[in-house]
């Protein structure tokens, strides 16, 4: 027996689950397929290595779809200040300067995902298939037919690819990508610090690459150390005692004393962008559409904006009586998000290349820019608002506007 849906989302990570929650309580029948369900959370567990700096726009999206309370009841670290510096240039941003309580929130990815999955199961029009993968995909212009690992047969008008950078859905749909490597790797180090819980995230630029600190709850933090692939492999091979010695020697005094290293992971830096986000009956979101330099932690944030924009596009089209699978409808989502994402990716590329350049005139100009950013308040405030996701054309959910009212059934 085949079960029919209006929309099926492949991938129940943060972005895919946010699409489902954005469509919750709508007249549309939504399915979401996720192969790997995260394990339950308890406050006694150590922090996960995979964390994200959620912007105010992302917080608005999560709160509007009803998932933010799930994060608050688990674990979250708000931050008020953000510092960017190198040898001489130095600027610090503070949310108080623009009358906001926070600049953002450091949240473990698993906690965000768990909160969204918990929330989407409260919607009567959303059905979760998990832990299940896809055995076969049969795409056509009128509908897509899916066979799950357990033999279940599903059809959908719109198939949403939220299945990551190596998206099977994107590849099956023949949507190409442009990509390149940055010739650097990043090592993530979970630490216990001598400082109590901090409210600042900072990034220092060095000749070998950036160094970053993200505060976590209590006296914990996450270090991101960018370097050549060979050096990251060497550092990762060290014992925790030896790595702590290298970390203490390489990082600035503002890190404070590190009591111990609790975990280590690494990944290559890569940029990837889909040449098209949509085709008839198909839409890409999150990493399936774009992978961005993690320098300013915007990857998850722009993915959540994708989710909000796609949910809004599909909702508006259905309310107007349009076919939600039409290419003309889905292109509205692409027009909304592809340009904004490309702009953010380009800014991160320029930022990365300028601050990786050791030519004297370039060093002088970037230090001058940091100094000016500290002193010219309108520029400083605009940078803060951009980092908080409060600049540009925002989807309704990012502005705290709900798309649907509660319904009792389909």
Domain range summary for the chain, segments of one domain joined by +: 2-75+109-179+272-398, 182-270
What is the reported pTM? 0.93
- For the segment 218-235, the average pLDDT, to the nearest whole number, is 96
Compute the average pLDDT of residues 132-140: 95
Question: How far apart (Å, rounded) are the C-alpha atoms in residues 140 and 364?
Answer: 56
Q: Under a CB-based contact definition with an 8 Å cutoff, are residues 199 and 79 in contact?
A: yes
- Cα distances (angstroms) measured from residue 188 to each of 108, 216, 229, 287: 13, 13, 13, 19
Is the Cβ–Cβ distance between 290 and 301 less than 8 Å? no
131: cis peptide before it, omega within 30°? yes
| Alpha-carbon gap, residue 174 to 180, rounded angstroms | 19
- In this structure, how many other beta carbons lie within 10 angstroms of the beta carbon of residue 355? 22
CATH 3.30.9.10, applies to 182-270: yes
Name residue, tokens 């050549």.
Answer: 228
Rounded to the nearest integer, the mean pLDDT of the chain is: 90
Angle between helices 377-387 and 360-375 in degrees, nearest 10: 100
- Asked if residues 177 and 260 have their Cβ atoms less than 8 Å apart, the reply is no
pLDDT digits over 13-24, tens only? 999 999 999 999
CA distance 220 to 106: 12
Of the candidates 323, 316, 325, the residue with the CA atom closest to the CA atom of residue 283:
325
Closest CA to 244 of 193, 278, 287, 204: 193
Domain 2-75+109-179+272-398 CATH class label: alpha beta
**pLDDT of 321 higher than 90:** yes
Query: Looking at residue 401, what is its pLDDT?
Result: 96
Nearest one of 56, 6, 57 to 32, comparing CA atoms = 6
């Amino acid at each position: 027996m085949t079960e029919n849906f209006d929309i099926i989302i492949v991938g129940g990570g943060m972005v895919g689950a946010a699409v489902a929650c954005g469509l919750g309580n709508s007249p549309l029948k939504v399915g979401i397929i996720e192969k790997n369900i995260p394990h339950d959370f308890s406050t006694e567990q150590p922090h996960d290595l995979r964390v994200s700096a959620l912007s105010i726009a992302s917080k608005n999206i999560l709160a509007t779809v009803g998932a933010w309370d799930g994060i608050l009841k688990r674990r979250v670290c708000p931050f008020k200040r953000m510092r960017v510096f190198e040898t001489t240039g130095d600027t610090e941003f503070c949310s108080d300067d623009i009358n906001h309580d926070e600049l953002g929130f450091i949240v473990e990815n698993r906690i965000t995902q768990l909160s969204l999955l918990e929330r989407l199961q409260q919607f009567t029009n959303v059905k979760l298939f998990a832990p299940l993968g896809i055995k076969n995909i049969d795409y056509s212009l009128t509908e897509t037919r899916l066979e799950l690992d357990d033999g279940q047969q599903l059809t959908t008008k719109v198939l949403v690819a939220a299945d990551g950078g190596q998206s099977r859905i994107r590849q099956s749909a023949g949507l190409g990508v442009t990509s390149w490597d940055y010739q650097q790797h990043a090592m993530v180090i979970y630490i216990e610090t001598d400082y109590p819980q901090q409210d600042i995230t900072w990034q220092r630029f060095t000749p070998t690459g950036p160094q970053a600190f993200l505060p976590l709850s209590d006296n914990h933090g996450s270090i991101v150390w960018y370097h050549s692939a060979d050096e990251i492999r060497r550092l990762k091979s060290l014992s925790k005692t030896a790595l702590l010695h290298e970390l203490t020697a390489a990082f600035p005094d503002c890190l404070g004393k590190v009591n111990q290293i609790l975990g280590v992971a690494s990944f290559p830096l890569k940029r990837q962008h889909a040449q098209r986000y949509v085709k008839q009956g198909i839409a890409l979101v999150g990493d399936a559409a774009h992978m961005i330099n993690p320098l300013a932690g915007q990857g998850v944030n722009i993915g959540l904006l994708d989710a909000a924009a796609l949910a809004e596009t599909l909702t508006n089209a259905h309310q107007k009586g349009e076919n939600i699978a039409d290419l003309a409808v889905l292109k509205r989502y692409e027009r909304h998000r592809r340009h904004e994402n490309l702009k953010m990716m380009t800014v991160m590329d320029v930022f990365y290349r300028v601050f990786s350049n050791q030519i004297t005139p370039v060093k002088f100009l970037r230090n001058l820019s940091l100094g000016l950013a500290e002193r010219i308040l309108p520029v400083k405030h605009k940078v803060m608002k951009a980092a908080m996701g409060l600049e540009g054309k925002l989807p309704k959910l990012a502005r705290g506007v709900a798309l649907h009212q509660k319904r009792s059934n389909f």
